[in-house]
Amino acid sequence: MHILPTKKTMMLHRDISWLAFNYRVLQEAKDENVPLLERVKFMGIYSSNLDEFFRVRIASLKKLLHLSAKTQKQMDFDPALALYNIGELVKKQQIEFSEIYSKQILPALSKEGIQVVRLHELTQNQYMELNTYVEEVLIQYIQPILMVKNKIRTFLRNNNLYLVAILETTGQSLRYALVRIPTDNLPRFIELVSDEKDTKTIILLDDIVRHALPSLFHGYTVRDSFSVKMTRDAELHIDDEYKGNLVDKIKRSLAKRNIGTGTRFVFDRKMPLNCKDFLMDNFHFDAADMYPEGRYHNNFDFFKFPSFGKTNLKDRPLPPLPHPVLSQSKDLFKTIAEEDQLLHFPYQRYEHVLQFLEAAAIDPEVKSIKITQYRVAKDSQVILALRRALSMGKEVVVFIEVKARFDEEANISWAEKLEAWGATVLYSIPKIKVHAKLALVSRRENNKTRSYAYLSTGNFNENTATLYTDYGFFTADERICKDVHTIFNFLETAKPNAPHPKGKNLLIGKYLPAKLDKMIENEISNARAGLEAKIFIKVNSLQDQQIIQKLYTASQSGVKIKIIVRGICCLMPKVKGLSDNIEAISVIDRFLEHSRIYCFHNAGDTQVYLSSADLMTRNLHHRIEAAFPVYNPKLKAEILYFLNVQWQDNCKARVIDATLSNQYQPKTKKDTDRRSQIEMYDYYKQKLK
């Protein structure tokens, strides 16, 4: 079923690899060692991931089908075959998803006093409660629509839930009707009064709408009902980024996002064939667009599943810890000037970043703050610190990437507010995204201007910093600060097709892959000379063909390569004659692994880079990214310690192989459990003593 790598590239198809990653998320949902309500959450994560996959990746693949046969033959894969194999894998995973929910999650919840019931399981009192809810709450939000072939066909909103009701009357053929389930107005999970002590009873809104169907269709008998939903293309199709106002074009495109072309029609797999055929004909679906699931869809709503205060069914709290140095500092600028400082989220507090920006805002010696913004928090304390700086008369320059997918609207809104407050706001550059995470503070010290930089592997977002593992780095090192200045100079003056900024110490933009290639080549030369040669990489995704081919060459030259990759991995580890010296694992746990790290042994003088960039073609060739060196030996050692802890994880690490088996890292009965995220938290906690 898997799409085999071509002889030309010997790489796995990226979307098949991504589905293997999402299956690792599903593995967390069925792992009985994971607290029960966290397993429910992982079901929501799996479903949310899959929805985005269909909105973005499947939409892109479908466009390839419209290319000429000649062009398709020149590609490394057959898009039709890719779509077929993806469909088969998704359907297989969805069957397992349904089994996990019905045979594992629901019985386990019941044992814990949480019953998720269906209509036939309700008591008389609960039926009366349901009738009251329908009459007083639900009825105002639902509107039935009778469907008539080729005459009455409603528009299916993106990722909205619907019930298709099968209706009959005496002497007439079956009729079909549609009712939208109003999850945007009402909770998905409704608690009912329970007749049993210490038991919580929940019913899904879907089933309450089912209960209401007979009262909506007078004169008909409701034979049955089945849930459906449509997923639509999420791409913003901007005809020409070079002409006109890009922000206005994005605003207009946002209004059309949820009416894009359908990429997937999800239906209850128990739906009878005649009903399915009617829907296919009525909505003009192809059979390839039809994806059977269980009774309920939009399972990302499991994020909102009520916990009823049962903390024993959730992960033990790991509150972010203070940084041992920054938390004691009375003068952050002096502390950073004396020595580079490294933060590791979410183990350590993001508040230290906010304190740095606040200190810059109120310090009379600070003249300017420059910062990039990619995904901004809803109630952003970062933005509020910039507003404070503006009120104190500072120059504030903010580059906002308005093309950050699914964050375009929020980013535009913040940009307009910043402009109204007096900031200089720089917007997206045509045809490239700015993905580097940078802040630069200019401060007068001893009649000279001194720069302080903050660089990160993750966004300036205090909300995701509690969930994503990322590094934040403070420095006053002129070698790094000068390159950060270079990037901001580029952003302030950039024109379409302008050459990317070139740093002396940072790896920036289109110069990043060439410098990575050079460092890999150095390891190859050392291996061939009989010296120890090693590469250790941690990324979210590894897909770029040039980098992968170079790593294959390095492996064949004797370089020992370790890779920790959370998601896509098109490279095939441990293939005889190709990648014998490459090993790869993936860690999926309570925090989302997001940091990017490149390490090169360099004949004993280890080079360590933290980066905003994954090893994807889009990152390396179509974005402004920044990989920054860590010079401080103590901080280098801390990063290498973290990588080694993750590599030894035998609880949450899966082995990445050419068959995408997702086997857990092997361990013997004598091995002690090594769970890297918990181990790292305890490591930072110990440092505070």
Q: Cβ neighbours of residue 384 under 8 Å, at least 6 residues apart?
A: none
DSSP 272: -
- Is residue 304 within 8 A of residue 188, CB to CB? The reply is yes
**Separation between Cα atoms, residue 411 and residue 434, nearest integer Å:** 13
Q: Cβ neighbours of residue 42 under 8 Å, at least 6 residues apart?
A: 25, 26, 28, 29, 34
DSSP-derived 3-state class of residue 226: strand
The two beta strands, 596-600 and 145-147, are unpaired
Tokens of 476: 């006053």
**Separation between Cα atoms, residue 75 and residue 71, nearest integer Å:** 7
Omega before residue 187 within 30° of 0, cis? no
**Separation between Cα atoms, residue 479 and residue 467, nearest integer Å:** 32
- Is residue 550 within 8 A of residue 517, CB to CB? The reply is yes
For residue 255, the one-letter residue type is: A
CA distances in angstroms from 562 to 17, 601, 638, listed in the order given: 18, 12, 18
The phi-psi region of residue 229 (left if phi > 0; otherwise alpha if psi is between -120 and 50; otherwise beta) is beta
- 10 Å Cβ neighbour count for 191? 13
Omega before residue 346 within 30° of 0, cis? yes
Residues in the chain, overall count:
689
Q: Cβ neighbours of residue 406 under 8 Å, at least 6 residues apart?
A: 52, 234
- Is residue 626 within 8 A of residue 438, CB to CB? The reply is yes
Taking alpha carbons only, the member of 501, 370, 373 closest to residue 424 is 370
- Which of 297, 435, 485, 594 is an active site residue? 435
Integer-rounded Cα Rg, in Å, for the chain is 27
Rounded to the nearest 5°, which phi and psi values hold at 638? Answer: -65, -40
Rounded to the nearest 5°, which phi and psi values hold at 366? Answer: -80, 125
435 is an active site residue: yes
- Is residue 524 within 8 A of residue 632, CB to CB? The reply is no
Residues catalogued as catalytic? 435
